[in-house]
Each structure stands twice: as structure tokens, then as C-alpha cells.
Chain A
């Protein structure tokens, strides 16, 4: 099982590379077998993705990732099941956004939205509209994007930034932001929609913030950061002051959107290289630099391998095969990294 999973990954990469050569970098399909295995493990018949590392809950992020992978794999039936459950169960707020968290016991457990989940869903819908030439998806995506613009995009210190959720995340004059919610390729897709100028600004601001939000010896971004009215960034109080499971997606999204400036990838590559590309710690406290005993998952290593490529550090990171019981998040990151690498014509 394990070997074949690894084979699948390599196979899909080769496919991506081949498809990329003619010049159409986005045309590479995500491998069908990988998707089927993913769906078997994480997609329930009713259309929700189970976060296996998190007591079997579901959330808008998982739905968005599932929908993205389904489109990439060309599985419209699965996509519709995912989108159907998302609409039915999560989009109950009345403002076009999804409640972010659902538990098997209590249903919708937190009605606040998570902006990255909403963005992933909308972006997947836009991709689906393109792939399957279905206007309904585009209309639905546009509605979510509009709701995001009116409720989540705010101006601070001359920057257009994304609030992580509609409620909270403002502490006086200071905003609490999540760098990994800047899903650059999704933002670019939204910017291309009619009236999408503010998304273009959000993208610009994201690069500025990522240049400012560099802490500790590795100069890594925190999972949660603050931005005050003067434009100063900090590490947010009230959250774990660390780089970790959230911020690891920063280089993934940058790469996926075609950014190749080594400056933006170096911190992640440095971290991975320092630990020999294998037992990379899953989290690093900021700014102190204390690392956890827990090692980065396979999916996180896949991101590091990508970051290493773009930082010019070569293939310093070895990505082991996904384990049979690899959890939802790790597996998802591994597949997303493969998709991003394919889009860049890089061997994942």
C-alpha cells in the first residue's frame, strides 16, 4: 500500500511535468488514483471531508480542499456531493459565508466563518466552472467572493488585509491576522473577476506583510500575527506564539501562484535544511526558536521540498511515502504541494 501511494505521487508528478512542457502550466490533471484513495479515506458519502487528526470533525477548509482536489481529479460527482453538503450544512449564516466548524455530535459548532475556508470553496467553484463549463458554479463563487469583500477585507495602515473571520480579530486598533489565509492563487482568481481590484491589493499587501512578519533565527512567519495602525507587525498574543501547522502553508500558496523569488522561500528552506531535511520540527516558537519534539508530517515535508526548490536550496528535503494512516491534513498538504509543483513544472 505504502509503496503504491508513493508511486502514485511520482506518477502524477511525471504526468504534470509532461503536460507542462507544451507551455500550459495549469493543465496538469491531478492523478485519479490519488484522488480515489483520498476520497476513500476522508470523503464521507454525505459529502463532508473528515479531519481525522481532529476527532473526526469537518470544516470549511476541508470542504474547500476536498473540492479543489475533486476538480483537479475531474471527479464532478464527488465535487457536487462536497458542495451540496457545504451549502446545506455550513452555509447557514445568511451572509453567504460558511460556518467554519461542524462536529459529529453537535453539528455546526462555531458559526463564525474562517476566511480561508470560504476562499478555498469559492476558488474551487471557479475552477469547477472553468473545467466543466458550468455557470452555476461561477455564480455561487461570485456570491461568496462578494460576501468576503464586504465582510472580511479591511484597510489597515495603507494595506488591504483579510480578517480571519467576521467576528473577533480586532483588538482595539490592532488586527489579528493569519498569514496562511493569503491563498495567493485564489486571490489572483478573485482579482480577475469583475470589480476584483481590492483582491489585487490584498495580494500586494500579503507580500509586504510576509516581508515584515519574519521572526526569530529562521525569520519565519507566525501562525497568527498582529498588524497595528502604524503598520507594525507582531506575533499575536492569545495564540501559541509559533510558526507551525498554519504558517507552513505560506510557501505552498506563494509557489502555487507562481512566485519564485528565493527571498520568500528561504526561511522555510533554511529550517528544513538545518534539520537535514528529515526530522524537521513541526513547530518553532517565535521569536525564541524553541522547537517541538513532534516532527513535521509527510505533507509538511512536501511543502518544504517545494520551498527548497524555489529557495535554490535544491532537493535537500526527502519526502517519505504517505503512511496508510496518514492524517487528513498531512495528506492534503502532500497533494496540494504536488498540484502546486505541477503547476510550476517542478518535480515534487
Chain B
């Protein structure tokens, strides 16, 4: 049975809420709840699209349906809508009395199918019913809901297959399929216009969304979506509109206003990464700095550090790397810090910054070479008088230059295992893993041939150590050159995607425990990615958890974890996961996760 007490109360509330003619629209958007998971049956037609029923007769089919299934929220909205259509209309007194909605034919089964997202099945059942009872006609409301659901599906599939004109046509035929309560489709429509090079219409569509859809979050997300297609000026206009137009009660539009600034930051950080010195204005720079500080964004701080480092503003660089290392210690941050201190001539500080990672991170070992230049290597200059040409190239992250120096060095004085190994690292940095793997293998072979020198013991660590092992070092975990080579090969194999072979060979590989752990972590990350592709979501979590034991989870894997949780329908956890990633640094990826999970939880597609 229904719940008469509650529903009566809702009925009254519904009547009370029907003050303004257009409030059904806002209510339907604000108070949407799915009848079944993932499905919405909208109540309000989009403005200008409704086919008003004949005067004097309102269609109470949907109203009675909502009453029967006890969906108070929709009932309320439907009452509001009907009163908006016909101010003289009163809700029927027998709303809660069980009765067939249309004489002879009960529409409930069709509504149930529609609610369960079985639109085709609903169509089939209706056609069958009409065959059996030719005089019967389904209610307008039911047909309208079916049309809308189908159009929405059509817009989705046309947009997925990049048939932009069909997206536009389908939306034009059924504007309610791109109303606020189907925001995703409205975005798809705007995207279709943009792809069809109808920039004005794309902008108009975005503008309609941010000025009519009541939720701040929707407006904010729309601005992010639009950023792909609109000019900075248009985005500014959009933001201004979104922050002020048609405000709804209880919504805080300040988040809309900040969207533009965040977009700006994202763009600036991106520019920062490949900026030539002085490419950014002081204003831009200070804005980025403010935001990075606000968000305690270590990645952003590292980017800033490199920006200053490249300008030889070592003090500023040191301060940002330091900041990054404080917020989230990482060998990346420490690497910058080492090089910044070195630039300042503070070698002791540089060594101190390196110490937690020394021998554990190739990055750090690399950076240390700038601090304590190895003898007899690189550009042929021997002696301790300063960083070699090669080391300076490495410190600049100029890997093409690294290759060129090594090439001329080999041409001049022949190959050494150390040079070949270094070549491997530079090739890896340049994303040429197959060549890198070959270089490491060559280095390994060369090391085996080179006569042992120095006082080190052990079979695999002959003179190949020249480039990487200053005599001062003596840490137990220090990788031998042979281990470095094996490690380099493993990294290269990871990059080429040879995970099966690598997994097989790893236990027997000659590497330090730290190196093995790092490779294992990378393998698990690769496996986790693959598991997600194969839809083995529990495996994704298992792998990521195991990986997390070895090393902190980076941002991209955090997003991966979010999707695994999402697909396991652990939506709350997925939302929390995406949110935490997004809070640290909001990007399109993280926003997408937050937005989709949010919509799924709140059935707000």
C-alpha cells in the first residue's frame, strides 16, 4: 500500500510550493531523484518545448503514477507543473485511491519499464497493447517521456561516434533531452556545435546552461567543459554570467567565480613547464604562486622551482623545491633542491638534501654528479674543478644534448660502460625505451670486458662505475654499476611494455632491494592499468594496495583507483578518492571523476 500520511503531507507541500508559474522547471531540476538506479523520469518539460494539453483538460496520468508508486518528490513537481499549465486546476481528491489511470488499460507496466531504463521494452509493450486494444492511446505524458529518453540516448550515441550534425538535429527535435536535468547531453550539444565550427551556437548553449541551470556545481563544471572550446574572453563572460544570473536559493556561486582562475592556473602551470625564461608576466607568476601556496600543491611548486632554476634564480628555485619537499617529500622535489643548492654554491646543503634518497633514486644520484663531479668522465675534462659539460646538460634536463655529448665523447675517446649507461638514461628520458634497453645491455657487456680497477670487491662492479660512483660513497645500499645497468634495462623494458618478461626475470635480477621495489611498484602500476582495461576492478585495488606498501601513490594511480571503486559501485569511496585527488590539483581528469561519480550518486545525469 501507499503511505497516505506522508503523501498527504507532500501533496500539501506541493500545493504550497506552486506559487510561481515557472517553478516546476526549477523544482524538477533541483529535486530530481531517480525512480530506479541510473534512470530519471523527468517531470517538467523544458521551456518552450512542452506540448500543452487541450485547454480544460490536464493529463493526470503521470500524477497518478507518482502517487501510486509513492514518489513524493515527483508528485509534488507534477502538481506544480499541472497548476502552472492550468491555474484553475485542483489535484484530484482521489489521488491515492487505487484505480486504473486510463479506462481499460493500466499504464503502470509501461511506466515501470521506462523507470527501469527499458525504453525499447516499453515501446514494444505499448505497441502490443495498441494492437490488442486499437482504441486505446497511451497518455501524452508517457509518450513524451519516452521520446525524451530516446532522444537523450540518441544524442549520446551520435556524440560518442562524432556524428555532430545528428546530435544537433536530435536536440532540436527534443529540446527537453538537453535540459538542465540532462546536463551531460547539453554539454554534448555544445560540443557538437563547436566541432561543427558553429562557435556562436556553442557559446550560446554554454551560456544557456550557466544562466538557467540552478546548481553552482553544474555551472562550474560547464565552465571547465567550455574551456576546451571557448576563448578566454568568452570564458570570462560565461563565468560572470554563471556567478550572477538567475541565482537559486541556497546555492553558493563563489565556486563558479573561481573556476576561471583555476583554469587560468592550469594553463599557466602548463606554460610554466615549457616556458622560456621571462615568458610569464609578473602578474601571472604571482597568481600561480599564490594558488600553489594555497593548495600546497607540490607538483605546482616543483614546476615553479624548475621555472626559476632555468633562469638561474637559484634562491627562488631552492625555496620552491624546499616547499614542495615539505608538502610531499619526493625524490623529484629533492632532485630540484639538490641542484638549486648546488647553483647557490651550497654543496653541503645539496648533499644533505640528497641524503635521504642517495643510492635509492637514480634522479638523486644523477643530481649529485653536479654537486660532486665524477672524475674523468663526460666531456673529457678531468679534475674536480666543476661540473662537466655532460653533468650540466643533465642538470638542465637537456637530454638531447646529453646524447650529443656522449656521441662526441665516444667518437673522441671510445665508449666506456659508464657512458653507455648514461646514454641509456638519457634515451629513457627521451622516451626511446628500446634503444635505452639496448644501451644498458651494451653497457653491461662493456662492463664485463673492462678491467676491474679500484678497490671495490664483487664480480659485477668493475670500472663501469666511473660515472656514478665517487669514491666517497660507501653506503651499503649503493647500487653497483652492474646493478644500475640491470635497473636501467628493467626501466626500459617497462617502458616498452614487456611486463611479462620483466615479472619473470625480476626475482633473479641483480639489483638493490630498493631498485627491485621500484620496478615491482611500476609493474604493479602497469598491471593495475591493464586490470582496469580488462574490467577486473578488484584486481586493480589489490594491485594498487600492494603497490602502496612499497611507495606512495601518485596522482594518476589515484585516479585509476577512483575508477576501480566506481566500477565496483563503491560510489562513495570513489567520490572521496577523486575528491582528494582533485583537491590537491584540479585537472580535467580529476574533475571528470568527481563529476561523474557525483552524478551517479545523485542520479543527476
Contact = CB atoms under 8 A, between A and B. Distances in A.
Interface string B576-604: 00000000000000000000000000000
Contacts of B134: 260
Interface residues of B, number: 18
A295 interface: no
Contacts of A208: 120-121, 123-124
Given A217-B166, A258-B131, 10 more contacts: A204-B128, A207-B123, A207-B124, A207-B127, A211-B119, A212-B120, A216-B166, A260-B134, A287-B158, A287-B166
A264 B150 CA distance: 13
B166 A261 contact: no
B23 interface: no
A31 B128 CA distance: 30
Interface string A248-274: 000000000111110110000000000
A180 B166 CA distance: 25
Query: Interface majority SS on A: helix, strand, loop or mixed?
Result: loop
Given A217-B169, A259-B131, A211 B163 contact: no
B543 to A, nearest CB: 26
Interface of B: 119-121, 123-124, 126-128, 130-131, 134, 150, 154, 158, 161, 163, 166, 169
Interface of A: 204, 207-209, 211-212, 214, 216-217, 219, 257-261, 263-264, 287-288
Nearest to A233: B120
A208 B169 CA distance: 24
Contacts of B124: 204, 207-208, 211
B161 A287 contact: yes
A216 to B, nearest CB: 7
A257 B121 CA distance: 19
Residue from B119, B124, B134 with most neighbouring chain A CB atoms (10 Å)? B124
B228 to A, nearest CB: 25
Given A208-B124, A217-B169, A287-B166, A261 B130 contact: yes
Contacts of A204: 124, 128
Contacts of A211: 119-121, 123-124
Closest 3 CB pairs of A and B: A207-B124, A211-B120, A261-B127
Contacts of A217: 166, 169
Contacts of A216: 166
Contact of B128 (A207, A214, A263): A207
A212 B128 CA distance: 16
A67 to B, nearest CB: 26
Contact of B123 (A260, A263, A287): A263
Nearest to B161: A287
Nearest to A216: B166
Nearest to A219: B154
A173 to B, nearest CB: 15
Contacts of A209: 120
Contacts of B158: 287
Given A208-B120, A208-B121, A259 B166 contact: no
A288 B161 CA distance: 11
Of A216, A258, A261, A288, the most chain B CB neighbours within 10 A belong to A261
Contacts of A214: 150, 154
